[in-house]
């Protein structure tokens, strides 16, 4: 069992959370901290992964601007994706023993954590061997995108709990043409408490990765970074 901080940093700008991940990743590589899970929601942003095709952004620049959406290039794997309030994002700063295929194995474990979380709410979902993520029938409810540098991971899971699904019309989700995004509230046709989803996902990650979770505050995690000459 490995010790792991878990921290809800609230609603964030994507780049602020990315910078925090990078700093925590550096500290993890130095063995200055243990593993970290960050929970957040992002202000509206389209992120373009390392293999993105910008043609998968379907709205014009003016339409994107009208909806208050930023467009940012990211170092995670994958194509374009969208983050916005009502979507739970979980970032994993884990140190892995590198071996061939480990990122693929990690993605499958993250998919399983989401599938099990959704089952707790009565939703039956599946993975697709052809593409990372979790789907309800042919609708994407969760995206997975990771980055690995010197055996330390960053980025992770986005799970649509109760976002404005209209915003997802701006992209082909993860580059999947003709695939629509969906959410827990849409599929269940009822309100879903974000805190309940966070707790359920935390429990699944704890079980799958054999973690001893220690909950800390956003102030504590930023102070820990400052204390390490951040």
- 64-106 pLDDT, tens per residue? 999 999 999 999 988 999 999 999 999 999 988 755 557 788 8
pTM: 0.94
CA pair distance 154, 33, nearest whole angstrom: 14
Sorted by where each begins, the domain ranges of the chain are 2-225
- 182-211 pLDDT, tens per residue? 999 999 999 999 999 999 999 999 999 999
Average pLDDT of the residues of the chain: 93
Superfamily of domain 2-225: Bira Bifunctional Protein; Domain 2 (3.30.930.10)
Q: If pLDDT is split at 50, 70 and 90, which confidence band does 113 have?
A: very high
Q: Which residues are catalytic?
A: 174
The answer to whether 146 and 154 have CB atoms below 8 angstroms apart is yes
Beta-carbon contacts of 94 under 8 Å, excluding residues fewer than 6 positions away, are: 28, 35, 106, 152, 153, 209
């Amino acid at each position: 069992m490995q010790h792991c901080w878990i921290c809800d940093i609230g609603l964030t700008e994507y780049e602020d959370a990315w910078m925090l991940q990078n700093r925590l990743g550096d500290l993890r590589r130095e063995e200055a901290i243990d593993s970290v899970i960050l929970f957040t929601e992002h202000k509206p942003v389209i992120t373009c992964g390392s293999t993105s095709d910008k043609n998968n952004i379907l709205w014009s620049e003016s339409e994107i601007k009208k909806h208050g959406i930023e467009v940012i290039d990211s170092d995670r794997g994958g194509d374009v994706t969208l983050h916005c309030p009502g979507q739970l994002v979980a970032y994993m700063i884990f140190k892995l023993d590198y071996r061939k295929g480990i990122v693929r194995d990690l993605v499958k474990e993250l998919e399983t954590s989401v599938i099990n979380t959704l089952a707790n709410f009565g939703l039956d979902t599946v993975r697709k061997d052809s593409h990372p993520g979790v789907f309800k029938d042919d609708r994407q409810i969760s995206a997975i995108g990771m980055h690995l540098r010197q055996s330390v991971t960053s980025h992770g899971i986005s799970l649509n709990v109760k976002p404005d699904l209209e915003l997802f019309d701006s992209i082909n989700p993860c580059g999947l043409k003709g695939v629509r995004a969906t959410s827990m509230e849409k599929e269940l046709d009822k309100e879903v408490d974000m805190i309940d989803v966070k707790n359920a996902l935390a429990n699944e990650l704890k079980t799958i990765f054999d973690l001893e979770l220690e909950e800390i505050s956003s102030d504590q995690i930023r102070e820990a970074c400052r204390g390490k000459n951040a």
